[in-house]
Structures are given as structure tokens and as C-alpha cells.
Structure 1
Amino acid sequence: MKNSHKKITLLLMTILFIGCNSETTKKELIRQKLLFNSDWQFQLFESDSVSKNELVSTEWKPVQLPHDWSIEGTISKENPSGHFGGYFPGGVGWYQKSFKYNPDWKNKLVSITFDGIYKDSEVWINNHYLGKRPNGYVGFSYDLSPYLKSGNNSILVKADNSKQPNARWYTGSGIYRNVWLEIKNKVSVTQWGTYITSSNISKENADIRIQTSIGNKNAEDHLVSIQIDIYDEKNQLVLKEELDNVIPSADTISIQHQVQVPNPKLWSPETPVLYTAVHKIFQEGDMIDMDSTPFGIRSIRFDAETGFWLNDKNIKIKGVNNHQDGGPVGAAVPDDVLRRRLEILKEMGCNAIRTAHNPFSPEFYQMCDEMGFMVMDEVFDEWIASWPWVDYKNRGKVKYGYHQNFKKWAKRDLKDVILRDRNHTSIIMWSVGNEIPDQCYPEGPERLKPLLEIVRDLDATRPITAGCCFMHLANDTGFSDLLDVAGYNGGGGSVFYEKDKIKYPNRKFIATEIPHSFQTRGVYKTKTEMRSPQQGIAVPDLTEEEVFPEFSKFYSSSYDNSSVRISARDSWRRTDSLAYVAGEFRWTGFDYLGEAIKKWPSRFWSFGIVDLCGFPKDTYYFYKSQWNDEPMVHMLPHWTWPGKEGTIIPVWVYANSEEIELFLNGKSLGVKSTNNKMNLSWDVPYTPGELKAIGRTDGKIVSQQVYKTAHKPAKIEVISDKKEVAATGTSCIHLEINILDKDGNFVPYADNLISFDIKGPAKNIGVENGDPLDLSSNKINQRKAFNGKCLLILQSTKKEGEIIVDIKSEGLKSQQISISNNNLPSNN
């Protein structure tokens, strides 16, 4: 997978930075796309009280983009973001960058692209106002060419995130995604100007339709020769197409090619094969533009009776919802951090991700293409209306939310997202809304129709959905009938599908957001905590009296008995057993900042099956047992419970082998079959020692797990995901910290304060422990362990050398780790 990624990256770099062909006398570059993240300066104000003319130059501080100032701030109950934003600060940020004009840019188009600024951004070049974009999740570009001058030029950016709350979760603040400077000739492929689709796929051939938009910013017509080369995943040329066209002056034309790829290799989660289409434009023998587009070949369809089909194979969508933040790094997520998160989901058996509830960074979709994740690309969390029980229906979900911009900006934002993302093979569905209250009103279908038209006009190859809760109201208004696939969220009694299947036999079903289950890593409760069980499937208490009363009410049980309406087990049982339900996207894959349901002092609530550090919780292993065929067994809870000797503890096992045998201190507690069961359970009197589970299939041991009762904390274990990194200034290292006893056993209750002394070419970009109640900064060189674990994320600099980290804690044996920061090829 990584080798494939490197080959694609190398090809794209060659394409982007190659010079003209041998017939060309000029040795200038034909198209450059330059990362524009370095050497920015930043100022932060609490409110929109300072104009650009009042900025004080002495207050600027240097920053490297992407940058999220909220994650650097202090968590406070007084911050107006409140529980929605995890009590992080907002404000108004100003950014500036000076750069020198390159004489080679004369007579060329120079543009700047911001992949994301949160939010209400405004941009100036040399004091010329370029424009405003309110949506903090949608990328945009400005043409700089008319305003550039010889010598120094200055970009100024304002990001206004002072009006809070403006979302139902942590958003981050500032220029939190990449910025690019693009230089190309005046006759060239336009931005997002290539659109590639495949059809009529067989073993012998696949029809590939390539639609290309070519612009001419010159005052005269140009006769050009257009060449399209298609390369396979090994960078071998598959085919070449050529044609001539006249591009009229000051105009843009659309050209369509229909070609056939022989013996196509199909994209799927198991084999994410990508091709690359390279456009070359020649004029009088000289190459004047070169642009490339990766794409995959695959077919998708949803069926009212049999669910989802990929490449004519009926499969279940095994998906998660994710927010875009990266835990301790906030919204400015480095590629290495994002890739690690996706690898964790891949190992579990996850094959799909819903972008909740906004478009993500371009790098996310590139990684999903390369790694084999199917994506539901979602654009909006709100349109205009609020919920029916609110007295005024045109005020959105939060006070300063997108409802203030929907009428003016929704069509533009939606169009830009579709144009940017439609070549990503990973995307299998478009979602135009999540739990849109408008669905409950007669106006809802009328607001939906123009959005459907935009999507179908720009991409008719993928179905359109929306995540609907209160599905009975969406049915009453006709909202759900307009969708290609009806998206069922778990809210408002939208758990059951059978009734709607009878009433709407031709409906196509997808569970867009279900189940909503909670779990805090390392926390267990035997009394069920369930919201609205009468609307779903109730989970009975595990014991009459609570076995673990010591855990805070702010923490949730990892027994899968803390949820909304339905548990993870019951939800997947239903999805898996109903053929017409295409699959499900559970809420959520990872814990995310904000939406702290139980409010202060919690900065988030524990929806994820993986915590903010990237440490899997117990429910992760439930999904692994159902979604992954690699033999595995997982027990819960751990087996270190001082003071509970003799107490009956429910021991659960998730496994995918045929049978499990449980042992306590070498004595068998019995064999149980996993046939048609989501989990196995034994009631075990707690006795310190060794708890072991053995999984057998066909009578052979295929998996096992052992827990040993731990003594008091004695030493630190450090696990690094890398031994060496590339000195790029962007490469990241994840250091997992575990607290062990003198015998090397993990201590699951340890809460020791860990300090980090970092030497060499690296910096701390995030510390975390996964505790919702830990309000300490993510940017300092210490963190308490939470239930035995914490995490440090380092980012290398561009200087080569040895990175040395000393990890210490009072009373524990310390550790030192060394990572080489070398001039290596980067995966980024």
C-alpha cells in the first residue's frame, strides 16, 4: 500500500515539475503547484474589533501552516464555544506572508488556493481585496495575477471565529489546511477541470470517459494539440490519445474523450488500484501545460432488495462516522497523523467512512483512494430550519451556524465540493445534509430539490443521500422519497427499518449514523446507561448491583451497555441480517473534541471506538470480530481489581473463531460456541492471577489472549511507530506510553504524571491521554496517564539529526528513545 502511494506520488511530482519537451527552447517550468505553508505571521484578537489598517506589526508571531489557534488556547467554562466546542477559545486571527515575485511568472496565471480556513475568511493581496468565504470547510482559490508586482508582495488573511457557537462540535480556528501557490500558462486545464468516469466494465475492457475543461486567458485564439496518457498502478503507459482543438480567446471549452482501458484492474477496499490520466497540451510543438488526475475503475449500485454492490459483488458497508479533528493536534492534522488514524480503522476491518458533517481535506480523500476506504462525502450539517419543538423554525441548530449563510452560499459551496472531489474513486455517495430539521417541514423538499439538481448536473454517477433522524417526519413531507438512497440516522425512532420497507418497498436503505454508543477506555459499569431504550432495543443490566461504583458519572461503560436506543451489537446484528440495508456508519470511529453532552468539565464525550490518542477501546474489538477474518480474541474487562476479591465480574469475549475456552489461573471455566453470537459472557468471581481466553476453529487453537493481575506501577514502556523519519518538517512520530509493573505487566489504573524532555530536530505538537475530564494543555511537555496510557506526537524539523526523548515520572524507572531524522523519501 505504501509502495503504491510512493509510486503515485513520484509520478505526480514528475508531472507537476517536469520541464518542456526537447523541442522547446525555453527551460522554464510549465506548471507549478507549490506548498505555500512556510513563513507566515499571525496575530490573535478576542473579537472583530481591529481593522487591517490597525494591525500592530510588532505583535506578529511566526507560524507554520496548517495552523489551529484554538487547540493552543486555554480550555475555560467561560469560552463562548461552550460544550459544543469543547470550551476551547475562538477569536479573530490575522495572517500575513511576504513573498518575492518571480520574473518567470510574467504572462502566466498565478493563483492561491486555501484548502480550508475556519471561518468567515477574507483575503487581500497587496491591499487589494480578493473576497470572502464564510464556510470554514470548503476550499477556494483566488487569481493573483492582476495584482502582483515586482519585488515583495504581501498576502493578508483574516479568519473570524469569534461568533460562538457556530457548530455543534470542535471546529478549530484559522488557516488549518494547506495553502498552495499555482503557476501555469494562460492556455491550460482549468481548476478542477478534469472529470473521469468509467462504465461498461468487463474483464476485457472498461470504457473511460474523460471530460476536460481548457481555458484561454489570452486575447487571441490558440490552436493546440491535446494528448492524454493513461498510466497504470506501476506507472506503465496503458494508452495514449491525441486530438487538435482551437481554444477561443478569453474563453473556456469542454472536450470529451472516450477511451478503453484493456484488462482493467478494479478498485476495491481489498485492491485499491489507481490509474493516472496525464493531460499534455502542445502549441507549435512546445508543451505549454501538463496536468494529472489519479482515478480508479469500479462500479457501484444500490439495490432495494439486496443492498450495496461493488464491482458486481454484493457486500456490506462496514463504516464509521468521523469528525475531521485529530485529537491533540486539533483541526490542523498532519498527513502522518491522519494516515495513522486510517490505518487503525483499516486494521479493524472498516471499509467506509462518512465525513461528518462537512467535506474534509483533499489529503483525506487521496488517502482513502490509496488505502481502500469507501466514502460518503457529506457537505452540510444544517440548512435553515431548527427542530419542530423550537418555537421559531428559521434559526438553525446553533446560534451562529451555517443557517446564516445557506441562502447565499449553499449552491456555490456544494458546487465547489463536487467539482473538487468527484474524481476520487473512494467516494461512493454524496450526502447533502445531516439531520436537517428542514426535512420536517413542507419547505424541506423544496430546499432539497435544487441541491439534488446541482449534484446530478456535476456528477450523475453516484447516488445522493442525507442522514435523516425523525424519519417518520421526513416520510410525511416527502423529503426521504427524493433521495436516491434513504439515510437512516438513529435519532427520533429511526432505528427500525421493517415498517418502512413494507410501506416503501422500492426504497434503498443505508444506516448513515447508527449506533450511537459510548465507551471510555478502561472504564466498566455493569448497570446499563441507555437513552431512549423504548425507541430501540434495551440492553439489560449485567448485575443487580453495580460492580464498579468507583467510576465517574462522566465516564461511560465499555461493556456496550451505554448507548442511545440500540447497542453496537444489536445494531450490527440487524444491519447484517437485513439484506436490503446496504450497511451502516457507526457514530463514531474516533473520539472527537466538542459536543460534550454532559457539559462542564468534560471537553468531549466518548462516542468513539478509538480514543483521542488512537488507542482502541473494547468495542473496537467487537467490530474487528465481525468485520475482519484474521483470527482474534479479546476479553474485557482487564484483570486488576484490588479490593474486589470474590466479587462476581462479568467477563466478555469478542472473537471470530468457532469456540472460546476461558481459563482462570489454569482452571477451565468452560467452552462456549460463538455461533450466531455477538459476544460471549462468563460470570467469574474475581481472583488475582491469570485470565486467559483461547480461540479454536476446527479444533485448532487460532488465537489467544492473556491478562495478568498487575502490581503497583514501576516502570515506563515507550512504543514508537517509527525508528527514523524524513527531515521534511512535516513528518510525525507517535510515542505510545504505557505504565508497567515490575514484572512488565500493564497497570490499567495507573495515572502517573509523565514528563517529556525533547532534544534534537523535533517539536511536540500534541500530548493526550483520552480522558474527557483532563483539561490540561495539549501543547506542554507533560501529561498524566489515563488508565495506564498516554501519547506524545512529535513533528520533525527540516534539520537532520538525532531526536532524543527522555520520558520520566517520579517513582518510575525512566526511558529514553532515539529516532533518526534523516534525508529520507517522505510518504507525505
Structure 2
Amino acid sequence: MAVLLVCGCKTDFKRFESDRKVSFNAGWEFTLEAKEGVGNGGLDDRNWSEVKIPHDWSIAGEIKQENPSGSQGGFYPGGIGYYRKSFSYDSSWDGKNVSVTFDGIMSNSEVWINGQSLGTRPNGYVGFTYDLTLYLIVGENVLLVKADNSAQPNSRWYTGAGIYRNVWLNVKNKIAVAQNGTYIVAEDISNKSATIKIETVVENTTGDKADIQVVSIIQNRAGEQVAEIQNDQSIDANGQSTLNQKMTISNPACWSFDDPNMYLLLTKLVSNGEVIDEYETPFGVRDIRFEIETGFWLNGENIKVKGVNNHHDGGPVGAAVPDDVLYRRLKILKDMGCNAIRTAHNPFSPEFYHMADTMGFLVMDEIFDEWIASWPWEDYKDRGKVTHGYHEHFEEWSQRDLTDIIVRDRNHPSIFMWSVGNEIPDQCYPEGPERLKPLMETVHRLDPTRPVTAGCCFIHLANDTGFSSLLDVTGYNGGGGSVFYEKDKAVYPNRKFIATEIPHSFQTRGYYQTQTDMRSPQQGIHVPNLTESEVFADYTNKYYSSSYDNSSVRISARDSWRRTDSLAYVAGEFRWTGYDYLGEAIKGWPARFFNFGIIDLCGFPKDHYYYYQSQWTDEPMVHILPHWTWPGLEGKVIPVWTYSNADEVELYLNGKSLGAKSNKGQQNLTWDVTYQPGELRAIARTNGKVVSEKVMKTAGAPASVEVIADKNAFKADGLSCVHLEVNILDGDGNFVPNAGNQLKFEISGPVENIGLDNGDPLDLNSTKLNERKVFNGKALMILQSTGQPGEVLVKVSSQGLASASIKLKSL
């Protein structure tokens, strides 16, 4: 298979500006109250307030049971919001084309310039560009944006609301490379060379035919030129042309997980010896393929996809996710051994793909969560999954949205598959394959280098309609009994398999139950109860889920990965989910989300994190669960588990060995331990040598607050963020895993709180407040620069505890 090269921005993922593209985030005003005068730029000035773009108004709203978003939307508010930006005409724009790009407006947006409507866009996940050139005036200009997220529910999870992604102003010459106008494919890749095919679209908006030279230069990551080609090109007046070029790179440095090497394509347009346009496209050289019997291959190496599904929200910050917050979330996954992310279930921000490129993640880029149909047990099959979902727009907009995303993202080396749907009910009907075919045809036309998939649940119905067999690679979601692959392998021997969404397992950080809670175990592999009766009977809460890997749907995390790893023809799996996410609160009010993630809403790992780390990494590690602070359970037998990648683990209680056990071929090790306060110690050995050690101590009463910053200095740019992890400690400095103390934050200096959370699905307080309880001993505050330099002091206090302070610098 030919392989795509990739990217679309500078390898420094934090900055994307160029001579042609500058940030247009500053200077916006916002109102939720304006009703009259839409389109004339003259909405009532008394209702406007300054906001920072990206902006999500929903996350700052009150969580209420009566909000029409319901449990799917986490009971957050929707509504209609308006944004306004005034800006002066710049004389440097004379004779040039000026446009504005919105990377994401949630949702059903309309944009005006100086009272002139530029268009509407219903899909809140798909970016778009409007040409402003004909409507700009000398002097003051006004952009007005309507973001209509009032029709609820319109999604199966929290969407956010407003201009929640970046806005860009594009200024280019009348003859220029089109936006997203380069397409790069690497072929015939070997250690000695790689053939680079470049397709460049050039636009000419002058009234005259133009004769130019297109110069394409490839630079390595050191900035050294490694290839160059030049061709003459003629473009008709007010037209465009496509030029195909081919170059060779010697001794290519291929893109991979461990070494995500990027190249840069510099495209120059030359007229009469003068450079009239420059356009940069980062890319990576790599070879991907799927084989029927052996799954996925990257650069000639057979690789298991070790993936997670993630939604687009950033937890405490909602849908408007700063770069630093997104990077931290991805780094935590990388440290777990994760090598792939599925964009569940819509396109993500451009910044995400740039980070995936430069950090070394594979990406399954997913476009749609629904088409037209509803589930087969519903009365009306053509009404979608939710009342006001994308089914209302699919027939009119799906091809446009799909095209825009493919063209925008197809140069990213991280993307290795396109997914055109997730658990699409249409798969169950005869119409499903007919709706699938034109989507696949569009993807194959725009990007023939990557396979097309979709996440199929009720796989037996998708098989019956022929839907699943049309896909280049068939995606198996865990829903509807899509757990066992062997039966389909026997019936469809030439099928290519990947587990797109499995397992669905639940954990609440620091919460444990010894009685198994599984949904539909008869369709999967049942996990036995760990004890005859519940050990932690006093801790039962239906909104929380056990961290023993005994709370799930159909199959546990351990059984799911064991099967995926043992079946060579299954390319890998994307588990549901990497992070807890807002919405889809399946237990209903008063929960704002459920416990799907390996990592909680704040980015604090749960026990499952260490299970995957034991399976997905080679760096020696060992982890113990549960914690060892259980007042009132003295004398009770508690199952103690370890996760490790070492050969054996020996467990000690208060210095006494409870025995060493072989870890070879095991998913976890377990000891039945009679609880007594003190110290649990796990020692992991490989080849007889100690390679890792973990200690768990019984904590006393809460005594002090601890604050840990992920950085002590940050840029005074209005963008950079600092994460403050807050822990409750006892008098000996031990973490208190059952603490629930109320915290108060006092902040001075040029920062603002953009999100304070604790990971508790039942805590409905606003994340914008400076007070919150810890949940099971922990909380997280995210601070963002206001754009000014200076010293920052944060004091965190709790009644009856020793407070903590931390000093930071904005530079």
C-alpha cells in the first residue's frame, strides 16, 4: 500500500502561525442574551462581555436536571450564543485575498461580515473557511457569529458550545497555493530511498492567465535540504491548476512511535524571478499495511495496535482545550504504552493531529457517529440516535463534511485509518451498505493510501446486510455481542479485523467492590466474584464502579486484551475509553458522567492504567491494588492484586512475606490478605534481580495539603497552562486515599483558573470556582496565563489542615 506522508503545521505543535495565517482569537465579545438585529453587527451593546477564544460557554453553566441535554449531555446547558469581533482594515491587504477559518463552532453556526451572511455550517466538529475579500471595507469591520446549540439532545455525550476551537485570519496573494492545497504520498520506501509524490493545487484569482514556477523543497528535521524540484505551470484567469511532482529522498528517516521523525515540504511560487507565495507542509515517511492473517504492519514490523477511544472534551475545561492541557493528556497516555487513539466519534482539533504526529501516536480518524437510521428496535428507523443529531443533516452535508476533513487531515502520518461511522444503526438495514458505498468512494478518491473502517456493533446484523464485508478493515465494537472473532474468521476468512471499541469496563478511582458487576456476561466472558460476600459493603454506591476489573460490559479489560494479543489476525484494540469524559451519564441524575476511563477526568490514573502499562511497556513496573487504608475492616480478608511486567512478584505485609508468584503469562497476580494496618510492599524481579518495587501504607487522619505543579515557570502568552495536583496527606506524609476535605484556593498574579475538578461524577459544582472538595484524596486545578509577566502565588487551604503554597513565574 502506498503511504501517506503527512502533517499540516509546524512540528512545534504550540505555534501554527505563518506569513499567510495568523491567530484571530483576540478581541471577541460574547452574549447569550442578544435576540434582535442578528446580521447587522449592531446587537445590543449592553449584553456583550469580553471572552477568550477558544471559548465553551456550556462548561461554565449550571448543571441542572431539567437541562434538555439530559444524561447524554451531562445535564449541562445549551442555548444560542453570539460572538462579535471588530477589526480594522489593514492596508497590507490591498490586492490580496483575505479569509477567516473557524476550526470548530458548536454548533449550527452562521457567520456574517459587515451584515453580509457568509454561510451556515451545522456540524460543530468540522472546520470551515469563509472568504472575506469582497465584503471588507476600509476602516472598521465587524464579524458576527451565531452558535446555536439549543436543539437538545443533539449528541450522546457532552459537546460544549460556542467558538470552542481556534480562529485564524488568512491573507495570501492572488496567485497562491490553495488552503490545504498540498497532498503528499510516500511510495517505494526502503532504507536507501523513498519516492515522494506531491500534488499541489494553485489558485489564480486575477483576471489574467499566469505563468509561474512551482518550486518544491524538502527539508529534514535539522532544517537541511534533502530534495528539490521545479516545474513551470500555467493557470487560467480566475482558475486553478493541479501540478504533480515526484522526488526521491535518500536514506529516509521513517516516522514511528519511538521516533516520530518529520520532514518539511516548502512550496514556493515564483513569478518573473520573484517569490509570490510560500506554503509549508510538515510530513512523515512511513509504510502501513494490513494483512489478513497478521494484522497491522508499520515500516515492515508487525505491530499490535494498543489504542484507546477518546472524546474531544478536556475534562475540567470542557470542549475548549488549551494546547498544554491536550499535551498533558496525551503524554499520560504515552507513558502508559498507548500507541493509538480513535477520535470518538468525530474529527478533533488540528492541534491534536499535530501532537499525534510529533509524539508518535497512530490515529483512527473518525468522521460520523450517526447517519440516518435509528436502532432496529425503535418504531421509526430514520430518526437517528438522538432527537436532534446529525441525521437531520446527513443527506445534505455528509459528503461536504467528509471531503473537508479528508483534505484537511490526509497529510498527517499519524492517521492510519479513516472511520466513516460508529455503531451506525444503518448497518442493520438493507439501506446501510448503499449509504456506506458513496462515503467509501469519496475517501478512496481523495486518499487511496489508507483503509476505510467503521465501528460495528451487532456484528451479526452488519454481516447479514453485507455492511461489514464492504469495509477495507472491519471494526468490531463490543456492543451487541461483538466480542468473539473466531466465528467470523471461519465464515469470512479474508476479512481484516480490528477491535474498534472494546472493552467497555468501568472504574472509579480509589473505589473497590469484590462482587462482580457485569452487563450481558452471557455474551462474553464472565468475571467471577472475588469473595463470597461483599468485603467493602459500607462503600456501595451505584454511581461508582469497582477498580478490580470486575465491572464491565460482556468482557473485562484483562480478558479482552488477552484475546486481542493472542489472535494474530486481530490488528489490535481501542478500549473504551482512555479518559473519563463529560456526558453519557448512563446511571442518570445526579451524575454528570460515568466511569469509562482508564484515567479520570483530571488526568489521574486509575488501577486499569497500570494494568495496561504492565502489558504495553517494557520499563519495569509493579502496581498494588487496592489501597491499604480500610478502617473498620480489621481481620477481614481483602483480595490484593498486582500488575507487573516482571517475571515474578513477592508481596510483603508489615515485613512478612506472603509469597512470591510467577508473573509469566499472567494478567495479574492475587493474594488473599487478612487486613491489618501497616505496610504492603510488592517486589518485582526479573531473572532473579529486583527491577521494581511498590509500597502502600495505611494512612492516618488528614493533616496537610500537598500541591505539585507540572511546571514552575510558563510563558506570559495568554495560552500556556500550569496543572496543580492537590493531595491530602496524613501526619507522616502518607497519601490519604479516602479523604474528602474541602479545599480553598487563593490565587494572586497573572493567571486565571480555567478548571478545578476532582474526578467525582457526582460533584456538580462549577469547575470555574476556587473551592472544591477532593475526591478520594485528590483534586486538580488548571491555571492559564493572562498574557502578563509576573510572579504567581497559589495558596491551598482546608479547615483543620496545614495549608500549602506554591510560587510560579510568568515569563
**TM-score bucket of the superposed structures, by smaller chain:** over 0.9
1:379 correspondence with 2:387: no
Assess if the C-alpha contact under 8 Å between 2:39 and 2:115 holds in 1. Answer: no
What SS class does the counterpart of residue 408 from structure 2 fall into? helix
Q: Structure 1 residue aligned with 2:678, among 681, 689, 693? A: 689
After TM superposition, give the deviation of residue 180 of structure 1 in Å.
Answer: 0.1
Trace 1:375-454 onto structure 2 (pairs within 5 A): 375-454=363-442
Cα distance change of structure 1 residues 412 and 202 upon mapping to structure 2, 3 Å threshold = same
Deviation at 1:295, TM superposition (A): 0.4
1:623 pairs with 2:623: no
Give the whole-Å Cα distance in 2 for the aligned partners of 1:123 and 1:271.
42
How far, CA to CA, are the matches of 1:583 and 1:382 in structure 2? 24
1:222 is displaced (CA, Å) by 1.0
Aligned to 1:139: 127
Distance 2:531 2:399 in 1: 54
- Deviation of 1:766 after TM superposition, in Å, equals 0.2
The structural deviation recorded for 1:248 is 1.2
Farther-moved stretch of structure 1 (80-89 vs 544-553): 544-553
* 2:750 corresponds to 1:761: yes
Instruction: Give the partner amino acid of 2:594.
Output: W
Query: 1:618: how far off?
Result: 0.2
Distance verdict in 2 for CA 1:10–1:781, change over 3 Å: closer
CA-atom RMSD in angstroms: 1.4
Counterpart of 1:350? Answer: 338
Write out aligned runs for 1:10-49 (5 A).
Answer: 17=18, 31-45=19-33
Report the counterpart of residue 244 of structure 2 in structure 1.
Answer: 256
Contact 1:45 / 1:91 at 8 angstroms: preserved in 2?
A: no
**Mapped pair 1:771 → 2:771:** no
Give the counterpart letter for 1:575 in structure 2: T
SS in 2 for 1:8: coil
Describe the shift of the 1:621–1:131 C-alpha distance in structure 2 as closer, same or farther (beyond 3 A). Answer: same
Q: Deviations over 1:170-224 (max 9, x none)?
A: 0000000000001000100001110001010011100110000000000001111
Q: How is 1:149-160 mapped onto 2 (pairs within 5 angstroms)? A: 149-160=137-148
Letter in 2 for 1:774: D
Structure 1 stretches of 4+ with a deviation exceeding 4 A read 4-7, 10-13, 48-54
Deviations 1:673-730 (A, max 9, x none): 0111100000000000010000000100000100111110000111100010011100
Contact 1:740/1:747 (CA < 8 Å) preserved in 2?
yes
Kindly, what percent of the aligned residue pairs are identical?
64
Structure 1, unaligned stretches of length 5 or more? 18-30, 823-828
- Pairing of 1:788-799 with structure 2 (within 5 A): 788-799=777-788
- Per the alignment, residue 586 of structure 1 pairs with 575
1:561 counterpart letter in structure 2: N
Matching residue within 303, 306, 326 for 2:294: 306
User: 1:50 offset after TM fit, Å?
Assistant: 7.7
State the distance in 1 between where 2:518 and 2:88 align.
60
Are the counterparts in 1 of residues 39 and 116 from structure 2 also a CA contact under 8 Å?
A: no
1:189 and 1:551 mapped to 2: Cα distance? 61
**1:99 aligns to what?**
87
Gap change, CA 1:11 and 1:88, over 3 Å in 2: closer
For 2:572 and 2:283, the matched residues in 1 are separated by 25
Q: Does 1:180 align with 2:183?
A: no
SS in 1 for 2:92: helix
Shift of 1:51: 4.2
1:362 and 2:380 aligned: no
User: Could you say which residue in structure 2 is the equivalent of 1:553?
Assistant: 542
The answer to whether the 8 A contact 2:9-2:280 is kept is: no
Counterpart for residue 569 of structure 1: 558
Partner of 1:717: 706
Structure-2 residue corresponding to 1:126: 114
Q: 1:354: Cα distance to partner?
A: 0.1
* Cα-to-partner distance string for 1:28-64 (whole Å, 9 max, x where unaligned): xxx4211000110001149x78845683211101001
Residues 814 and 593 of structure 1, relative CA distance in 2, 3 Å threshold: same
Q: In the aligned structure 2, how far is the partner of 1:306 from the partner of 1:427?
A: 20
- Tell me how far 1:236 sits from its aligned partner: 1.2
- 1:606 matched to 2:595? The reply is yes
Task: Give the equivalent residue in structure 1 for 2:212.
Answer: 224
* Residue 798 of structure 1: how far off its partner (Å): 1.3
Cα distance in 1 for residues equivalent to 2:278 and 2:601: 41
Measured in 2, the distance between the counterparts of 1:357 and 1:61 equals 33
Comparing 540-549 with 459-468, greater Cα deviation is found at 540-549
Distance in 2 (CA, whole Å) between partners of 1:42 and 1:708 is 50
* Cα distance in structure 2, aligned partners of 1:173 and 1:436: 24
Residue of structure 2 equivalent to 1:826: none
Q: 1:654 aligns with which of 616, 622, 643?
A: 643
The normalised TM-score by structure 1 is 0.96
Equivalent position SS for 2:134: helix
What is the SS of the residue equivalent to 1:9? coil
What do residues 380-408 of structure 1 show as CA deviations (whole Å, max 9, x unaligned)?
00000000000110000000000000000
Q: Which residue of 1 aligns with 2:11?
A: 8
1:678 to 646, 667, 670: 667
Would you say the 8 A contact 2:39–2:117 is kept in 1? no
Secondary structure of 2:20's match? strand
Q: Does 1:59 align with 2:62?
A: no
State the alpha-carbon separation in 2 of the partners of residues 11 and 507 from structure 1.
40
Aligned pair partner of 2:730 in 741, 745, 755:
741
- C-alpha separation between the residues in 2 aligned to 1:81 and 1:11? 33
The equivalent residue for 2:4 is none
Q: Which moved more, 1:548-557 or 1:364-373?
A: 548-557
Please give the TM-score of this superposition, normalised by the length of structure 2: 0.98
Aligned residues: 803
Corresponding position of 1:25:
none
Alignment CA distance shift 1:147-1:318 (3 Å):
same
Partner of 1:499: 487
Shift of 1:7: 8.2
- Shift, 1:12, TM fit: 8.4
CA contact (8 A) 1:556 1:606 kept: yes
Question: Secondary structure in 1 aligned to 2:218?
Answer: strand
What letter corresponds to residue 387 of structure 1 in structure 2?
Answer: W
Q: Does 1:531 align with 2:519?
A: yes
Letter in 1 for 2:686: T
1:320 aligns to what?
308
In the superposition, relative to structure 1, how do residues 393 and 7 fare at CA in structure 2: closer, same or farther (>3 Å)?
Answer: closer
Distance in 2 between the 1:459 and 1:93 partners?
A: 36
Instruction: Note closer, same or farther for the CA distance 1:554–1:402 as it changes in structure 2 (3 Å cut).
Output: same
1:297 counterpart residue number: 285
Contact 2:8 2:409 in 1 (8 A): no
Query: Using the alignment, how far apart are the partners of 1:350 and 1:586 within structure 2?
Result: 10
How far is 1:237 from its partner? 1.1
**Whole-angstrom distance in 2 between the partners of 1:235 and 1:117:** 36
For residue 292 of structure 1, report the CA deviation from its aligned partner: 0.4
Report the Cα distance in structure 1 between the residues aligned to 2:690 and 2:292, rounded to whole angstroms: 41
Supply the distance in 2 between the matched residues of 1:451 and 1:307 (Cα, whole angstroms): 24
CA contact (8 A) 2:309 2:343 kept: yes
For residues 780 and 330 of structure 1, the distance between their equivalents in structure 2, rounded to whole angstroms, comes to: 14
> Cα deviation per residue 1:347-395 (whole Å; 9 max; x = unaligned)?
0000000000000000000000000000000000000000000011000
8 Å contact 2:9–2:354 — kept in the other structure? no
Matches within 5 A, 1:240-251: 240-251=228-239
1:215–1:251 contact (8 Å) kept in structure 2: yes
Kindly provide the amino acid, as one letter, of the partner of residue 11 in structure 2.
I
Q: Distance in 2 between matches of 1:670 and 1:465?
A: 47
Task: Mark the CA change 1:94 to 1:617 in structure 2 (over 3 Å): closer, same or farther.
Answer: same
Shift of 1:6: 12
**CA separation in 1, counterparts of 2:20 and 2:269?**
15
Q: What is the aligned partner in structure 2 of residue 21 from structure 1?
A: none
Secondary structure at the aligned position of 2:660 is classed as strand
SS in structure 2 of the partner of residue 246 of structure 1 = strand
Report Cα offsets for 1:52-105 as digits up to 9, x if no partner.
568321110100100000000000001000000000000000000000000110
